[in-house]
């Protein structure tokens, strides 16, 4: 058993007969009244995100997890196939367990979190950023760059993101997987 002082991003805990992963947390100590921890929890079974407040010092049931590196092989409908990079065993995971499946490129290395009690995969952690090629975008109009104007662009995985006007088809861009947002253009 852990307490609220052990809460951190990525912690997996059992709450309301479900397993949740802490996405965000904030320890609040108001001037009047007891301290508390405000959290944003993501259900690892359904993918729903809920806001919850724990009073300071409350006992929480944390879950022991193990992480392993897996390589993404290919999607098949709503199922994604992964291969362990150590022993080459393959597993299939539902689309709901992935944070950003639309940004996942074949061959990408991800971290899969397993519950040590029953060895079941709980969630997939994507790398902080991925580099993808722009497959389709409208050409930027000259003179429209006075403000931070953006345009929609489709990347090689089929996801649509907003990019600055100077980005063209064939350019490689770095994308933040947590927000699904453009970070920078990558030159090779």
Q: How many CA atoms lie within 13 A of 81 on its CB side?
A: 9
Q: pTM higher than 0.95, yes or no?
A: no
Instruction: Say if CB 97 and CB 121 are below 8 A apart.
Output: yes
Instruction: Say if CB 136 and CB 155 are below 8 A apart.
Output: no
Q: Does residue 153 surpass a pLDDT of 70?
A: yes
Question: Where do the domains of the chain lie, and which CATH numbers do they carry?
Answer: 2-62 (2.30.30.30), 65-125 (2.40.50.140), 129-186 (2.40.50.140)
- The length of the chain is 188
pLDDT band at residue 104 using 50, 70 and 90 as cut-offs: confident
Q: Does residue 143 surpass a pLDDT of 70?
A: no
How far apart CA 140 and CA 167 sit, in angstroms, is 8
- What distances in angstroms separate CA 124 from CA 71, 80, 84, 99, one per listed residue? 11, 11, 13, 7
Q: Does residue 50 surpass a pLDDT of 70?
A: yes
Q: Does residue 43 surpass a pLDDT of 90?
A: no
């Amino acid at each position: 058993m852990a307490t609220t002082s052990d809460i951190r991003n990525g912690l997996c805990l059992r709450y309301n007969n479900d397993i949740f992963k802490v996405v965000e947390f904030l320890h609040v100590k108001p001037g009047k009244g007891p301290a508390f921890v405000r959290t944003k929890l993501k259900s690892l079974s359904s993918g729903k995100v809920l806001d919850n407040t724990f009073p300071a010092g409350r006992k929480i049931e944390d879950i022991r997890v193990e992480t392993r590196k897996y390589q993404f092989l290919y999607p098949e409908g709503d199922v994604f196939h992964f291969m362990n990079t150590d022993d080459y065993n393959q597993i299939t995971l539902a689309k709901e367990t992935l944070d950003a499946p639309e940004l996942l490129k074949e061959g990408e290395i991800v971290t899969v979190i397993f519950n040590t009690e029953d060895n079941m995969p709980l969630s997939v952690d994507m790398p902080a950023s991925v580099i993808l090629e722009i497959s389709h975008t409208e050409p930027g109009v000259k003179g429209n760059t006075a403000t931070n104007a953006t345009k929609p662009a489709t990347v090689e995985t089929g996801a649509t993101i907003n990019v600055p006007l100077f980005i063209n088809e064939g350019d490689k861009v770095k994308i933040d997987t947590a927000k699904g947002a453009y970070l920078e253009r990558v030159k090779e």
